[in-house]
Amino acid sequence: MTRKFLLLVLMTMFSATLSFSQEKNEEPTISEANSAACEGNSAHFAYIATEVSKSKERIFIIFRAGKGETETVNAKRLNYVKGFLQNFKSWRTFNTVYARGEKTNSEGKIEFYIGSKLFLVVVSPKNATPCLTCCDEGFDPQNLLKTKRNIKRKS
């Protein structure tokens, strides 16, 4: 009986500590444009989906063209990522706003907000899409100047 009580107390303390540390973290996660980003982005998208399912908050995704990129590239990046999230990550049911923002002075960026809080910034290679998922699911970064790829719905 004492063991169970002690275990319960320890679990409660751990949960409270974890919850408090998450609330204190005000900085968004930055996902750089490299090969390590693939698995990380997939995990971040799953986390956002879980949080939004619980909180019912709106998701805002702002696409920013990078230095030397055109608004056409930015629009293609938006369409590519939107299709991926809606069709392969089941974000179609979420209240999501997709928009294009001001250009950056560095690489292109995609900012993910949960409600009004910036949660994730995905850096995108010049004139390309970021790596969105892992495990060879067919979503490697695409050159937006040369390709015209339509995302088909998952059956």
Place 97 in a pLDDT band, splitting at 50, 70 and 90.
very high
- In the structure encoding, which two tokens stand for residue 14, read together? 């751990």
User: By three-state DSSP, how is residue 143 classified?
Assistant: strand
- In the structure encoding, which two tokens stand for residue 99, read together? 């928009």
Q: How far apart are CA 69 and CA 6, in angstroms?
A: 58
What does the pLDDT read at residue 93?
A: 87
What does the pLDDT read at residue 140?
A: 53
What pLDDT digit, counting tens, does each position of 6-59 carry? Answer: 434 434 443 433 343 345 567 899 988 877 788 888 889 999 999 999 999 999
Q: What is the CATH number of the domain that holds 68?
A: 3.40.30
- Rg of the chain over Cα atoms, rounded to whole angstroms, equals 18
pTM of the model: 0.73
Is 139 among the domain residues? no
What CA dihedral angle connects 51, 52, 58 and 63, to 10 degrees?
70
What helix, strand, coil percent values describe the chain, rounded to 5? Answer: 40, 20, 40
What does the pLDDT read at residue 139?
A: 52
What does the pLDDT read at residue 105?
A: 95
Question: How many domains is the chain partitioned into structurally?
Answer: 1
Structural domain that includes position 60: 27-124
Name beta bridge partners: 114: 59, 117
Whether 99 shows a pLDDT value over 50: the answer reads yes
Is 130 among the domain residues? no
Give me the chain's average pLDDT, please: 79
